[in-house]
Amino acid sequence: MTELAAVKTALKTQAVETPSWAYGNSGTRFKVFAQQGVPRTPQEKLADAAQVHAVTGVAPTVALHIPWDRVDDYAALAKFARDHGVKLGAINSNTFQDDAYKLGSICHPDAAVRRKAVDHLLECVDIMDATGSRDLKLWFADGTNYPGQDDIRARQDRLAEGLTEVYARLGEGQRMLLEYKFFEPAFYSTDVPDWGTAYAHCLKLGEKAQVVVDTGHHAPGTNIEFIVATLLRENKLGGFDFNSRFYADDDLMVGAADPFQLFRIMHEVIRGGGLSSDVAFMLDQCHNIEAKIPAIIRSVMNVQEATAKALLVDRDALATAQREGDVLAANAVLMDAYNTDVRPLLADLRQDMGLDPDPITAYHRSGWAEKIVAERVGGQQAGWGA
Ligand code: PSV
Ligand code: MN
Ligand code: MN
């Protein structure tokens, strides 16, 4: 196999999961700009996600968020997805939108609130059983706003206790993915603020507990690829929530703010096991001012471009330069790959897969955007920015 053929083969195995909430209306705490044609039901979100998969060929699963995507029959929803050519992916829990969670959820000082939160997480595992989903994705908004507000060490004990109960409920082949975020909505202390805290909990819990790296959840200047390399080395990287940020948790299209960072991350993924490992490539984005489906298509393409460039790194030349201590040559090997225009390669790949080489144009040509504007009135808010 030629080198390019090998790169294409690898790219065909990549799967990018899109989030149901990215299809709905979203905004900031200042304003939600409603768009026409956005989905009103989980089924309509899946139908939109199916369009993204239809034109990219690499977005076969959709993450759900409970209760935003609550339905009576999850097995039926999974069948609906399959009938539309996609599958249900990670189940995202929500322990942040109820009044009861003002002082936290799983770390709350009151045992009754902790019970409510853990029961919700257990319900999410029930849903996974019905949908056939592998991953339970946990992000906790828990933390404190003022020094002394609560005992930050006791909160870690409560976190461990709750996670242990949920971990015990996981079935064969199911995983718990623990996401960290350094601040917000809590401003003084956050209960899972960084990869070290997430890693420590996952390590104690066992093999089925893995860390999720949301690319928007770090302080400016953080070397995210180092975290990725370390977690992969420890076999503890469960997946990514991809998005990009200029300032904080902006949830912009992945690769928009810093495509070079995305390349460096993908380089470490390839270095650490490649695309066939159990790392879930998920998007976690909100499209506040741009059209949603094209933005998600663009995001999937951005992930593919960064991946293609990472696959093009001349690993032998890099290893030689590194061994010889040739700093400039080593850096040049990486930059050569990064500076390669991989768009023709990806266009070829899509043609090989029986797709239009240009997914965005193909989507616009499909007439889907006009159809949903005509058919859907009163679209749903994703849950954010109310
Ligand atoms: C909040 O920061 C957040 O963006 C987390 O990244 C979660 O993954 C997501 O919401 C969905 O709950
Ligand atoms: Mn996230
Ligand atoms: Mn986030």
13-28 confidence digits (pLDDT tens): 999 999 999 999 999 9
Helix (H) or strand (E) holding 239: strand 237-242
Pocket of ligand 1 (CB under 6 A): 92, 139, 179, 181, 214, 241, 249, 284
Residue 18 pairs with which residues in a beta bridge? 62
Identify which ligand lies nearest to the alpha carbon of 63: 1
276-334 confidence digits (pLDDT tens): 779 999 999 999 999 999 999 999 999 999 999 999 999 999 999 999 999 999 999 99
* CA separation for the pair 93, 307 (Å, rounded): 29
Lowest mean pLDDT among 2-16, 62-76, 306-320, 354-368: 2-16
Q: Domain coordinates of the chain in residue numbers?
A: 15-303
**Do you know the residue count of the chain?**
386
94-120 confidence digits (pLDDT tens): 999 999 999 999 999 999 999 999 999
* CA separation for the pair 106, 111 (Å, rounded): 9
pLDDT for 386:
36
Backbone angles phi, psi at 150, to 5 degrees: -150, 170
CATH among 3.40.50.2020, 3.90.950.20, 3.40.50.720, 3.20.20.150 for 15-303:
3.20.20.150
In this structure, the residue with its CA closest to atom 7 of ligand 1 is 139
Over residues 170-179, the mean pLDDT reads: 98
211-234 confidence digits (pLDDT tens): 999 999 999 999 999 999 999 999
Identify which ligand lies nearest to the alpha carbon of 242: 2
* Helix extents (H) in the chain: 3-13, 42-56, 74-83, 111-131, 152-169, 195-205, 224-233, 259-271, 292-311, 315-323, 327-338, 343-352, 359-366, 368-375
Residue in 72, 375, 74 with CA at minimum distance from that of residue 62: 74
Mean pLDDT of the chain: 96
In this structure, the residue with its CA closest to atom 4 of ligand 1 is 284
Residue 383: pLDDT band with limits 50, 70, 90:
low
